[in-house]
């Protein structure tokens, strides 16, 4: 059956600057279908949310799957699934229907797929039950379920125990998920699928991808197990590898801070088999944004299996970073050989980050005891035409005093920072020699008051 699936997942879709992620690579492979007859049940979601292009693309994908298995079983696209393998169709909405038994006629299988119409809720439990009932317990064929769905369970019992019972009986379960109108829970698909989850589950938000997902799965199912596997992973330069765990199969080697190699001698040559590699990476770039984790990932094996790995991205949040001054352009200073002293003119250097600090003192008159005061200062700058430009506002709470009588209170050092690049005086750039004109408007009032709105009560 070849390489059944390949996947790459990351532990989070959002990290802080310099944060870390766990990356999981996963593969699954099985023996050749032509020498290992296999019964496959396609379980197809026809609930109401599948109406339109999702249903059309699912049908195209399912029929493409059937064609690939047809040719793989007897090396001929003759409309007949050979070598003892069979395919059955189960579809589901409110309930599930066995649209065919396990059969070999490609035309009958495609007719069953084409007859599907969308409508109703989503009963995964009945779908797994009807699919399991198609398998003949006395048959020695390998058994595979391919569950396709676009949403969460909305009717029927919990399907997880039914899927678990099927796996326990030796059924290999793959899940293809389309993110439909009511969403889809990857954790649920992982729970239903055969381990390792990452190599038996594929999810897409685009129904246009469905034909390719069905085709890739069928192509890999139809090939022999993989040998001499080599995977080269190269990270985006924003990340470095910090740790690599022992893979479940084969060996992993760090080649550089951004590159590793995973090798496996053989996988799935005698039975269905999965392999995973987990490693940890750290963000080092110091910049925010959506970052693709890997720059490239390549797969080779002796059977020429094809592995397409997802390219996950993570949202990196470095906060708001402001670099007010660029680094100076370096001055190149050559010193000749055997020259032990040098006088060199490094050129002109201009003052940077020029500005002024205005400190205002305000005297509040006749502030009565036990009264807090709210003080506000609005500062503007005035150009030569008398136009005002805002330069900031400060608000201050003045604590209440306990003197026996009203007092004047001096408020000192209300600071405003006034960079020269905000000047409207038309002075010399990078200079503090020009005159700047400001206006300050100051407001104050007592916060505390003994006033209460009185409610009138009239009694007759």
CATH code assigned at 21: 2.60.40.740
Q: What is the pTM of this model?
A: 0.50
Clarify whether residues 68 and 183 are in a common domain. yes
Query: Structure tokens of 415?
Result: 């600071």
Listed residue (89, 221, 107) closest to 148, CA to CA: 89
Q: What is the pLDDT of residue 65?
A: 94
Ranges of residues in the chain whose predicted pLDDT is under 70? 1, 220, 223-224, 270-271, 321, 427-430, 455-460
Clarify whether residues 51 and 150 are in a common domain. yes
Helix %, strand %, coil % for the chain, to 5?
A: 20, 40, 45
Clarify whether residues 100 and 246 are in a common domain. no
Clarify whether residues 268 and 237 are in a common domain. yes
Distance, in Å, from the CA atom of 8 to the CA atom of 279, rounded to the nearest integer, reads: 11
Given 222, 245, 270, the domain boundary residue is: 222
**Residue 280 resides in a domain:** yes
- The distance of Cα 337 from the centroid of its chain, to the nearest Å, equals 55
List 395's β-bridge partners, or say none.
Answer: 376
Clarify whether residues 207 and 228 are in a common domain. no
Distance, in Å, from the CA atom of 130 to the CA atom of 143, rounded to the nearest integer, reads: 14
Clarify whether residues 217 and 286 are in a common domain. no
Query: Structure tokens of 167?
Result: 């796996």
Q: Which sign does the torsion angle of CA 317, 320, 326, 327 carry? A: negative
Q: What is the pLDDT of residue 355?
A: 87
Q: What is the pLDDT of residue 455?
A: 64
Q: What are phi and psi of 287, to 5 degrees?
A: -125, 145
Q: How many CB atoms lie under 10 A from the CB of residue 187?
A: 8
Clarify whether residues 293 and 440 are in a common domain. no
Distance, in Å, from the CA atom of 118 to the CA atom of 91, rounded to the nearest integer, reads: 10
Listed residue (228, 224, 272) closest to 250, CA to CA: 228
Clarify whether residues 194 and 55 are in a common domain. yes
Distance, in Å, from the CA atom of 459 to the CA atom of 175, rounded to the nearest integer, reads: 77
Clarify whether residues 274 and 198 are in a common domain. no
The predicted-structure confidence for 196-253, as pLDDT tens digits, reads as follows: 777 789 999 999 999 999 988 887 677 667 899 999 999 999 999 999 999 999 999 9
Q: What is the pLDDT of residue 271?
A: 67
* Helix/strand/coil (H/E/C) assignment for every residue in 101-122: CCECEHHHHHHHHHCCCCCCCC
Distance, in Å, from the CA atom of 448 to the CA atom of 7, rounded to the nearest integer, reads: 66
Clarify whether residues 18 and 61 are in a common domain. no
List 374's β-bridge partners, or say none.
Answer: 397, 445
Given 183, 206, 222, the domain boundary residue is: 222
Q: How many CB atoms lie under 10 A from the CB of residue 119?
A: 12
Given 265, 299, 320, the domain boundary residue is: 320
Q: What is the DSSP string of 201-229?
A: EEEES-GGGHHHHHHHHHHHHTSPPEEEE
Clarify whether residues 175 and 93 are in a common domain. yes
Q: What is the pLDDT of residue 460?
A: 64
Clarify whether residues 212 and 229 are in a common domain. no
Q: What is the pLDDT of residue 238?
A: 96
CA distances for 55 relative to 18, 128, 264, angstroms = 43, 20, 38
Distance, in Å, from the CA atom of 217 to the CA atom of 62, rounded to the nearest integer, reads: 11
> SS3 of 96, please?
strand
Q: Considering its fold, how many domains does the chain have in total?
A: 3
> SS3 of 459, please?
coil
Give the domain range for residue 375. 355-446
Residue 406: enclosing H or E segment and its boundaries? none
Angle at 115 between CA 143 and CA 184, to 5 degrees: 60
């Amino acid at each position: 059956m070849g390489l059944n699936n390949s996947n790459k997942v990351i532990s989070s879709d959002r990290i802080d600057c310099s944060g870390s992620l766990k990356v999981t690579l996963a593969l699954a492979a099985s023996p050749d279908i032509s020498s290992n007859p296999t019964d496959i049940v396609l379980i197809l979601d026809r609930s109401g949310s599948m109406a339109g292009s999702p249903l059309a693309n699912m049908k195209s994908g399912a029929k493409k799957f059937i064609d690939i298995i047809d040719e793989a079983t007897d090396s001929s696209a003759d409309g007949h699934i050979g070598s003892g393998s069979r395919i059955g169709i189960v579809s589901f909405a409110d309930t599930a229907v066995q649209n065919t038994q396990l059969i070999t006629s490609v035309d009958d299988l495609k007719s069953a797929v084409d007859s599907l119409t969308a409508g109703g809720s989503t009963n995964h439990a009945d779908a797994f039950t009807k699919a399991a009932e198609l398998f003949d317990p006395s048959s020695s064929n390998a058994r595979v379920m391919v569950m396709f769905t676009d949403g969460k369970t909305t009717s029927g019992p919990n399907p997880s125990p039914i899927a678990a019972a099927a796996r326990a009986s030796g059924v290999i379960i793959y899940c293809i998920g389309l993110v439909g109108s009511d969403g889809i829970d990857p954790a649920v698909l992982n729970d239903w699928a055969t381990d390792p989850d990452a190599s038996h589950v594929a999810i897409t938000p685009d129904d246009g991808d469905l034909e390719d997902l069905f085709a890739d799965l069928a192509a890999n199912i139809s090939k022999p197990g993989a040998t001499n596997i080599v995977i080269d992973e190269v990270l985006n330069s924003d990340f470095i590898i910090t740790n690599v765990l022992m893979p479940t199969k084969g060996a992993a080697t760090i080649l550089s801070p951004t590159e590793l190699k995973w090798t496996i001698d053989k996988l799935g040559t005698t039975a269905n088999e999965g392999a995973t590699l987990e490693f940890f990476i750290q963000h080092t770039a110091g910049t925010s944004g959506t970052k693709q984790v890997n720059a490239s990932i390549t797969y080779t094996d002796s059977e020429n299996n094809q592995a397409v790995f997802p390219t996950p991205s993570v949202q990196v949040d470095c906060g708001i970073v402001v670099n007010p001054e660029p680094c100076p352009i370096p001055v190149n200073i050559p010193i000749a050989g055997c020259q032990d002293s040098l006088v060199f003119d490094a050129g002109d250097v201009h003052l940077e980050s020029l500005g002024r600090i205005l400190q205002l003192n305000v005297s509040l008159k006749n502030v009565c005891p036990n009264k807090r005061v709210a003080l506000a200062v609005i500062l503007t700058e005035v150009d030569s035409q008398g136009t005002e430009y805002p330069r900031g506002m400060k608000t201050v709470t003045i604590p209440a005093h306990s003197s026996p009588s009203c007092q004047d209170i001096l408020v000192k050092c209300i600071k405003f920072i006034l960079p020269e690049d905000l000047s409207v005086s038309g002075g010399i750039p990078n200079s503090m020699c020009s005159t700047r004109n400001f206006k300050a408007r100051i407001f104050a009032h007592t916060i505390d008051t003994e006033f209460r709105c009185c409610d009138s009560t009239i009694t007759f």
